[in-house]
Structure 1
Amino acid sequence: MYNRRKFIAQSAMAAGSVLLGSRALHAASMDVAPVQYLTILHTNDTHSRLDPFPMDGSRNEGLGGVARRAALIEKIRGEAEHVLLLDAGDIFQGTPYFNIYNGEPEIKALTQMGYDAVTIGNHDYDGGIENLAAQMQAHGRFETIVCNYDFAGTPMENVAVPYKIFKRGGLKIGVLGVGIELDGLVPANLYGNTRYLDPVAKANETAALLRSKGCDLVICLSHLGYRYSGNKISDLKLAAATSNIDLIIGGHTHDFLEQPEVVRNKNGAEVIINQVGWAGIKLGRLDYRFERGKRGKVERANSLLVTKKTGE
């Protein structure tokens, strides 16, 4: 079993920094600024929650809402040098918006907020694979990324990609995605001919490819779930069984992690895992610093509560 280490405690002696891996930066050989910054913003399991929770005395009253999240994202974009905005799946299902409009407003909202990439959660199949493909094609202006679903012969075949490389300044950021096993979780008629492949094997293969292409940071968008009591593959197990992944942005289990988890991969390098609950209540933020010829550092990690105040 893994030792839980609070990210903030681990990084306190290094001015809030965590060293990521032992690989030299690709940017070191490029004519770029000696120090570069990257801000990663992320969500997961937003579940069609477009409006804030109602003011009804419940635990989450007044929290969330895409308008407030959009305002917070734009505020950060105005302050940060380079930003990457990502989601770890389960965009659909949870409010009448999905039941009535089949995911159209959810995908339009992600597009308008400027998401760069998402992966696919099990509930994203709730309208069927044909609906998922149609919504992404018609309204999505971001990458849909998953490497362990074989979509050959399905409507998603030309919609999803196994990975994408994003450039921010002189940095190359590789993003891959992994999805949970659908059999027994999603009715077979909804996911059709989608074939589930071993997420550890595919993640290792894809991360190695991204590293070979000179990526300074490799991110995995995961809808596997953070932790399980048995042998089921989780983000913790994935991190320990893989190489070349620096950061796992997780979903599915709706865990509100107070600070990111740090796990050693099979080569002894550190992998950061983060997840920010569900329903768009929080926006995850990780601020990276890259120095030429040195290893990347996370200088700050925050889970930002989305409220009326943050949306002002």
Structure 2
Amino acid sequence: MKTGEFNLKRIVQGVAAVTVSALLISCASAPQEPESNEFRLTLLHIDDHHSNLDAKRQTLVWGEQEWQVEAGGFPRVGAQIKKLRAANENVLTLHAGDALTGSLYFTLFGSEADARMMNNVCFDAFTIGNHEFDTGDAGLAEFLQALGTESCPTVKLGANIKPKVGESPLTPNREWQMFQPYTIVERGGEEIAIIGLDIASKTKKSSQPDESTEFLDELETARKYIAEVQQQGIEKIVLLTHIQYERDKELVQQLPGVDIVIGGDSHTLLGDFSDFGMESDGPYPT
């Protein structure tokens, strides 16, 4: 096999359009053409980077040849996100959890390196994943305090995570002290709710949350906060989840108020990468 080298730069851009048509009825007898009021939202998103901040070498099959490529790395991700953000209007930049654990950056520096890289990208919202609890509630609290800056106030989400107030470092004085169940953002004159969910059973069983921290059912929690934002007149709803692809597909069938799901945890490759010899688990977007 012939071997060559090139840099693989890949970022996935999700675009959701919500269209509302209004028929204007005139006093005149002649019919008038309906006007279209289209709202277009661009979603830039990643998940499960697991402290992998450097680019990696890997072998891909392309054009019946094997290619040694340099792929990923947070500098490349950040550059592509900034490029896409500048080229589009009404952009949301989201991270669907598991920023931590998986490389020597985390082993040697804890969450500090990840927080710095993420602040450079500037995510609008981040949902807490199971591996964020690998060093207990105290470790997560340290990460959340470092995540976000005055010029880039990343919102941290976890609607179904319930640390014990007065006991957990996440809630030393009150509920929702270091993260919140949802956030409401404005883009193009439209209000959009983003609700965050973590995978309940897996986090409790395989990570290291404090014993007193509870994880509520994902479906019931989603229903609760969807109803809450709808009562505020908000109809555009994004679920930012860390509950796995199959669970996302299952939940969204039972949540008709949800427009978009950005998910993580299962490391599911979506899209057509057959030209590179890679198999995916579904189309992008699903």
User: One fold, TM greater than 0.5?
Assistant: yes
State the SS of the aligned residue for 1:62. strand
Cα deviations across residues 191-217 of structure 1 (Å, max 9, x unaligned)?
Answer: 342111111011011012122222242
Confirm or deny: 8 A CA contact 1:225 1:251 kept in the other structure: yes
Moved more, 60-69 or 194-203: 60-69
**Shift of residue 71, structure 1, vs aligned partner:** 0.9
Does the Cα contact within 8 Å between 1:208 and 1:243 map onto a contact in 2?
no
Provide TM-score, normalisation by structure 1: 0.67
Amino acid at match of 1:200: L
Identity %: 30
1:2-13 alignment runs, 5 A limit: none
Q: 2:143 aligns with which of 135, 150, 161?
A: 135
- Partner SS for 1:107: helix
Question: Is this contact kept in 2: 1:148–1:197, CA < 8 A?
Answer: yes
User: Is 1:98 aligned to 2:106, yes or no?
Assistant: yes
1:155 to 169, 175, 178: 169
Match of 1:241 in 2: 254
Residue matched to 1:83: 91
State the Cα distance separating 1:242 from its structure 2 match.
2.1
Higher gyration radius (CA): 2
Report if the CA contact (8 A) 1:207-1:243 is conserved.
Answer: no
- Cα–Cα, structure 1 residues 239 and 34, in superposed 2: closer, same or farther, change >3 Å? closer
Which residue in 1 is equivalent to 2:128? 120
The alignment partner of 1:191 has SS state of coil
Aligned AA (2:44): L
Instruction: Map Cα deviations across residues 241-266 of structure 1 (whole Å, 9 max, x no partner).
Output: 2231111111111101117xxxxxxx
* Aligned residues of 1:48 and 1:93 also touching (Cα < 8 A): yes
Evaluate the alpha carbon distance shift between residue 58 and residue 95 of structure 1 in structure 2; reply closer, same or farther with a 3 A threshold: farther
Displacement over 3 Å in runs of 4+: 17-20, 22-25, 33-36, 56-61
Q: 1:16-52: per-residue Cα shift (whole Å, max 9, x none)?
A: x9876x9899xxxxxxx94443211111111111111
Hey, what does 1:48 align to over in structure 2?
51
Q: Which residue of 1 aligns with 2:32?
A: none
CA deviation after TM superposition for structure 1 residue 57, in Å: 4.4
Indicate if the aligned counterparts of 2:244 and 2:265 stay in contact, CA closer than 8 A: yes
Number of residue equivalences: 230
- Measured in 1, the distance between the counterparts of 2:75 and 2:259 equals 31
Per the alignment, do residues 61 and 99 of structure 1 end up closer, same or farther by CA in structure 2, a change over 3 Å counting? farther
Matches within 5 A, 1:201-280: 201-227=220-246, 234-258=247-271
Structure 1, unpaired ranges of 5+: 1-16, 26-32, 228-233, 260-276, 278-300, 304-312
| Aligned-residue offset at 1:61 | 4.3
Structure 2: stretches of 5+ with no match in the other structure: 1-14, 23-35, 62-67, 172-176, 273-279
Aligned equivalents of 1:183 and 1:77: distance in 2?
A: 36
Separation in structure 1 between the aligned mates of residue 179 and residue 20 of structure 2, nearest angstrom: 29
CA contact (8 A) 2:20 2:38 kept: no
2:214 match: 195
Is it true that 1:183 corresponds to 2:219 in the alignment? no
Contact in 2 for aligned 1:175/1:218 (Cα 8 Å)? yes
Normalising by structure 2, report the TM-score.
0.73
What is the distance in 2 between the residues matched to 1:242 and 1:302? 18
What is the alpha-carbon root mean square deviation over aligned residues? 2.8
Q: Residue by residue, what CA displacement relative to the aligned partner does 1:60-83 show, whole Å, maximum 9, x if unpaired?
A: 841111111111111112110121
SS across alignment from 2:233: coil
Alignment partner of 2:245: what SS? Answer: coil
SS in 2 for 1:241: coil
